[in-house]
């Protein structure tokens, strides 16, 4: 009944993964470390190193060994322990919010204090009065109260105006009465609310003197600080098992005529007069749109990590995993006997694999350059707004909505595509891609549903187009400029004559610009001339946002790598191929749009396909180097397939040994469920000389099945 172990003396078949990865790294045309520094900058890398060393040496946070093996009960308890430990380390090392972000990234597991840090504290900082800050902020920063952010309800998600929870001001008692009138009014999905939070920011319809002022934020205490029991009038709990995120106690919350003091209404902007209940309106708030741009820039930057991490696993594994043989280009190695022999071909040499994986790698770099551009534009816009210039804001806000949608949709698809590209073994949790997918997935729904968001983007583009065409006033920016160009050149034609013309960045950018402008023109025609409803146009509206954001990403990528100071360097060349791959693979995928517009001809579309294949081949020798440059430590990846040294099969077998079912050679439950069936055939057994039972007739005169 000893635990199961693989034979320790056996190695995988030749060639070894380690050697294959070394060859790949040697083949890269650029200095991988140099590219890593270009992506992150030296200070970030130093900080990451410092924090990684703290985590990797911490008795609690270094241990991820249970993650793939246990149920939610154990995982949640360990997440509580980790949350406490992380809070201690933050204090001990005086980590800044940026440091904490890096620590969270490396630890790679959302925990019960997640929303406390990312929403509860920032909401107090942003929306509380000075008095309220004194009351709540410092205890929150010391984790003496733990908060969450309770907005969505069981029946109400993206449409905030539909929220049902009410907070009715009672002038007599000078307090708010919170109430949930229906089942669908229950707060729902709130991270950290279920079992953890003592307090919540609650969005509720503020009612004063009989008038409904719509949703407003309150700080509400939920649990007794002594006992952690929910207070009377509060029903609170966990919403139950989810596809991922088992380590967060997403919760529900219902109020039954629950009284809360006047100080609870976060009153920096809207206020209620304590004595009269008179409502004081907030000033108009354009500034908060600026903040949303910053949040979305961070989401784009996170998409970059997600894409790159998924690609790291799949590209490294594909450089090692070998199968079949490419007849035109067989893989050969020198055997230990000095004789060269043909071995199976690494699947990364198959064109289909390159076609599936390299565009994902390119998307990661594309997100990097666009995330950087968004950060730059955010600061520029903040400066302008401080000077009363709001001319950047609308465009920036509209584009950032669409970019959040586009990049998170890409990232979600990429994890799953990479997982499948790992073949059967991608389905093992030890691939490192399964739980990663499950945990990242909600990003496509929260912070704005990826479909709904695009309506904001397209609404802005349609408005701009109408203004430009009518010669009315419009903001001069990237978006309006391509519309001006489009309207100036009706019936333009793509100038491509041969496949290699698709390496000209200007040519490519012009195609992407023409595409969006044409689609916008069509949609304006549909709405304004054909009088189709907004609802009937939703599919096109989604596509327009997508097209606009793809254009932005191509533009930022090209600017990042084809500018004068990059163009002639070796690394610039390598990244140039990646930029072209991003643009061309995106264009191929969306080629129906440009064919439909008539700007690109069928013959040109065929040339495009050829150029995509040619670009994949150029990227091939740099593939492992390009993923390595993202510098994900094995501690983060927790992946047998993507392990940095290429010991794929060794890790897979190690991780199988850790499976709890392997702790005994005969499984718990055997006596009850298998033995009765198997032993009912006892009369047909015969025993060998070792007392082992076989079916009668299986043994023959030669003796036994047995170890020689």
Q: Is 12 in the site for a copy of itself (CB under 8 A)?
A: yes
Task: Give CA separation, 378 vs 282, 291, 304, 408, 668, in Å.
Answer: 24, 8, 18, 20, 59
Near a copy of itself by CB under 8 A, which window of 24-32, 194-202, 461-469, 500-508?
194-202
Least spacing, CB of residue 100 vs a copy of itself, in Å: 16
Pick out residues in 378-437 that bind a copy of itself (CB under 8 A): 416, 419-420, 423-424, 426-430, 434
Q: Which two tokens stand for residue 274?
A: 């304590």
Which letter, b or e, does each residue of 26-36 get, where b requires 16 or more Cβ atoms within 10 Å of its Cβ? Answer: eebebebeebb
Torsions phi, psi of 695, nearest 5? -65, 135
What distance in Å separates the CA atoms of residue 595 and residue 493, rounded to the nearest whole number?
A: 11
Using CB under 8 A as the binding rule, whether residue 528 contacts a copy of itself is answered as no
Residues 607-636 touching a copy of itself, rule: CB under 8 A, are 609, 613
Question: Does residue 225 contact residue 214 with C-beta atoms inside 8 Å?
Answer: no
Strand (E) or helix (H) holding 321: none
**Residue in 533, 565, 568, 689 binding a copy of itself, rule: CB under 8 A:** 533
227 sits near a copy of itself (criterion: CB under 8 A): yes
Task: State the nearest-atom distance from the C-beta of 357 to a copy of itself, in Å.
Answer: 12
The widest CA-to-CA distance across the chain, in whole angstroms, is 102
Candidates 449, 439, 451; CA nearest to 191 is 439
- Tell whether residue 605 is a contact of a copy of itself (CB under 8 A): yes
Q: Three-state SS string across 389-400, please?
A: CCCCHHHHHHHH
Indicate left, alpha or beta for 598 from its phi (over 0: left) and psi (-120 to 50: alpha): left
Q: Which of residues 282-321 bind a copy of itself (CB under 8 A)?
A: none
User: By CB under 8 A, is residue 666 in contact with a copy of itself?
Assistant: yes
Reply yes or no on whether 278 is catalytic: no
User: 43 or 691: whose CB is closer to a copy of itself?
Assistant: 691
CB of 455 to a copy of itself, least distance (A): 9
Residues 455-514 that bind a copy of itself (CB under 8 A): none
Judged by CB under 8 A, does residue 336 bind a copy of itself?
no
Residue 44 or 670 having the CB closest to a copy of itself: 670
Beta-carbon count within 10 A of 359 CB? 28
592: CB partners within 8 A, 6+ apart: none
Among 45, 52, 573, 699, binds a copy of itself (CB under 8 A): 699
Least distance to a copy of itself, CB of residue 475, Å:
26
Among 257, 276, 288, 481, binds a copy of itself (CB under 8 A): 257
- Residue of the chain from 118, 165, 198, 400 that contacts a copy of itself (CB under 8 A): 198
Count residues near a copy of itself (CB under 8 A).
Answer: 190
Q: Find the binding residues for a copy of itself in span 109-138 (CB under 8 A).
A: 134-136
Residue 645 as a binder of a copy of itself (CB under 8 A): the answer is no
Is 191 labelled a binding residue? yes
Write down the residue that tokens 């003592």 correspond to: 198
Site for a copy of itself in 150-179 (CB under 8 A): 152, 154-159, 162, 164, 173-175, 177
* Of positions 446, 469, 492, 501, contacts a copy of itself by CB under 8 A: 446
Which residue in 174, 179, 425, 182 sits closest to 278, CA to CA? 174
Rg (CA), the chain: 30
Residue 222: CB partners within 8 Å, gap ≥ 6? 193, 197, 198, 199, 200, 230, 231, 234, 236, 253
Is residue 568 within the footprint of a copy of itself (CB under 8 A)?
Answer: no
Rounded to the nearest angstrom, the gap between the alpha carbon of residue 349 and the centroid of all alpha carbons in its chain is 28
Residue 368 Cβ vs a copy of itself, minimum distance, rounded to whole Å: 26
Tokens coding 596: 């439909």
List the structure tokens of 326.
């490419």
429 contacts 444 by C-beta, under 8 angstroms: no
Question: Contact with a copy of itself (CB under 8 A): which of 42, 57, 59, 73?
Answer: 73
Distance from C-alpha of 478 to C-alpha of 84, rounded to nearest angstrom: 47
Inter-axis angle of helices 602-619 and 351-386, nearest 10:
100
User: Are β-strands 175-179 and 166-170 bridged in parallel, bridged antiparallel, or unpaired?
Assistant: antiparallel
Considering only 29, 288, 323, 504, the residue that binds a copy of itself (CB under 8 A) is 323
Cβ 252 to a copy of itself shortest distance, Å? 6
Pick out residues in 540-559 that bind a copy of itself (CB under 8 A): 540, 542
Of residues 63, 125, 212, 224, which one binds a copy of itself by CB under 8 A? 224
* Nearest to 204, CA basis, from 152, 155, 282: 152
Tokens of residue 515, six digits? 């595409």
* Rounded Cα gap, residues 199 and 266, in angstroms: 13
333 binds a copy of itself (CB under 8 A): no
Nearer to a copy of itself, 87 or 496 (CB): 87
* From candidates 21, 39, 89, 220, binder to a copy of itself by CB under 8 A: 220
Q: In this chain, which stretch among 241-249, 470-478, 489-497, 564-572 interacts with a copy of itself, using CB under 8 A?
A: 241-249
Stretch that binds a copy of itself, among 43-51, 361-369, 498-506, 692-700 (CB under 8 A): 692-700
Work out whether 194 is an interface residue with a copy of itself (CB under 8 A).
Answer: yes
**Among residues 37, 372, 416, 447, which one is catalytic?**
447
Which residues, 33 to 72, sit near a copy of itself by CB under 8 A? 68-72
- CA dist list (Å): 301 to 183, 227, 373, 416: 38, 41, 11, 19
Q: Least distance in Å: CB of 376 to a copy of itself?
A: 32
User: Using CB under 8 A, which of the segments 261-269, 275-283, 471-479, 548-556 binds a copy of itself?
Assistant: 261-269
Which tokens go with 31?
Answer: 């200095």
Among 118, 151, 180, 458, binds a copy of itself (CB under 8 A): 180
Residues 6+ apart with CB under 8 A from 237: 194, 195, 251, 252
Binding residues for FAD: 152, 191
Q: Any idea which residues carry the catalytic annotation?
A: 447
Binding residues: 152, 191
């Amino acid at each position: 009944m000893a635990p199961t172990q693989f034979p320790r003396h056996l190695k995988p078949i030749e060639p070894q993964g380690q050697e294959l990865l070394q060859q790949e790294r040697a083949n890269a045309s650029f200095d991988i470390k140099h590219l890593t520094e270009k992506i992150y900058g030296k200070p970030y890398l130093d900080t990451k190193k410092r924090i990684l060393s703290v985590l990797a040496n911490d008795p609690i946070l270094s241990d991820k060994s249970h993650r793939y093996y246990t149920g939610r009960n154990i995982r949640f308890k360990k997440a509580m322990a980790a949350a406490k430990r992380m809070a201690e380390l933050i204090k001990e090392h005086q980590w800044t919010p940026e440091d904490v972000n890096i620590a969270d990234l490396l630890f790679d597991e959302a925990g019960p204090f997640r929303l406390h840090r990312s929403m509860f504290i920032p909401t107090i900082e942003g929306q509380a009065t000075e008095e309220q800050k004194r009351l709540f902020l410092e205890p929150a920063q010391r984790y003496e109260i733990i908060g969450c952010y309770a907005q969505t309800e069981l029946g109400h998600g993206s449409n905030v105006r539909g929220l049902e929870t009410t907070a009715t001001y009672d002038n007599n008692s000078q307090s708010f009465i919170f109430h949930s009138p229906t089942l669908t009014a229950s707060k729902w999905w709130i991270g950290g609310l279920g079992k953890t939070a003592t307090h919540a920011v609650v969005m509720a319809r503020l009612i004063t003197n009989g008038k409904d002022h719509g949703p407003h934020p309150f700080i509400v205490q939920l649990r007794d600080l002594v006992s952690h029991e929910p207070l009377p009038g509060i029903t609170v709990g966990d919403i139950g098992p989810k596809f991922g995120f088992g380590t967060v106690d997403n919760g529900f919350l219902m109020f039954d005529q629950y009284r809360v003091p006047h100080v609870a209404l976060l009153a920096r902007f809207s206020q209620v007069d304590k004595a009269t209940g008179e409502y004081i309106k907030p000033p108009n708030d354009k500034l908060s749109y600026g903040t949303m741009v910053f949040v979305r820039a961070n989401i784009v930057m996170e998409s970059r990590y997600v894409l790159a991490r998924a690609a790291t696993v799949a590209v490294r594994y594909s450089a090692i995993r070998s199968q079949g043989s490419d007849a035109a280009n067989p893989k050969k190695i020198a055997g230990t006997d000095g004789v060269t022999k043909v071995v199976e071909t690494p699947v990364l040499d198959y064109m289909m694999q390159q076609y599936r994986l390299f565009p994902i790698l390119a998307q990661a770099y594309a997100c990097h350059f666009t995330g950087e551009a968004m950060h730059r534009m955010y600061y520029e816009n903040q400066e302008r707004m401080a000077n009363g210039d709001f001319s950047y804001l609308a465009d920036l806000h509209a584009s950032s909505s669409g970019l959040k949608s586009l990049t998170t949709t890409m990232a979600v698809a990429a994890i799953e595509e990479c997982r499948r590209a790992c073949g059967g073994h991608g389905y093992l949790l030890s691939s490192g891609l399964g739980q990663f997918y499950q945990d990242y997935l909600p990003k496509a729904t929260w912070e704005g549903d990826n479909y709904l968001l695009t309506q904001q983007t397209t609404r802005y583009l349609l408005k701009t187009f109408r203004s430009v065409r009518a010669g009315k006033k419009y903001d001069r920016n990237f978006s309006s400029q391509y519309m001006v160009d489009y309207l100036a050149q009706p019936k333009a034609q793509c100038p491509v004559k041969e496949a290699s013309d698709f390496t000209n960045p200007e040519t490519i950018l012009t195609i992407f610009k023409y595409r969006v402008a044409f689609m916008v023109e069509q949609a304006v025609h549909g709405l304004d001339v054909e009088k189709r409803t907004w609802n009937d146009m939703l599919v096109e509206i989604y596509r327009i946002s997508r097209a606009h954001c793809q254009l932005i990403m191509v533009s930022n990528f090209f600017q990042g790598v084809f500018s004068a100071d990059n163009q002639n360097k070796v690394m610039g060349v390598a990244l140039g191929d990646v930029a072209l791959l991003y643009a061309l693979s995106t264009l191929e995928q969306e080629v129906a749009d440009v064919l439909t517009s008539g700007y690109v001809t069928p013959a040109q579309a065929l040339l495009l396909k050829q150029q995509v294949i040619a670009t994949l081949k150029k990227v091939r020798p740099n593939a492992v180097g390009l993923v390595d440059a993202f510098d994900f430590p094995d501690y983060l990846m927790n992946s047998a397939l993507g392990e940095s040294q290429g010991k794929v099969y060794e890790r897979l077998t190690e991780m199988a040994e850790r499976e709890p079912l392997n702790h005994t050679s005969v499984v718990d439950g055997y006596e009850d469920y298998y033995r009765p069936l198997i032993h009912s055939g006892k009369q047909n057994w015969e025993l060998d000389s070792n007392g082992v039972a076989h079916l009668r007739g299986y043994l023959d005169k030669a003796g036994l099945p047995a170890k020689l």
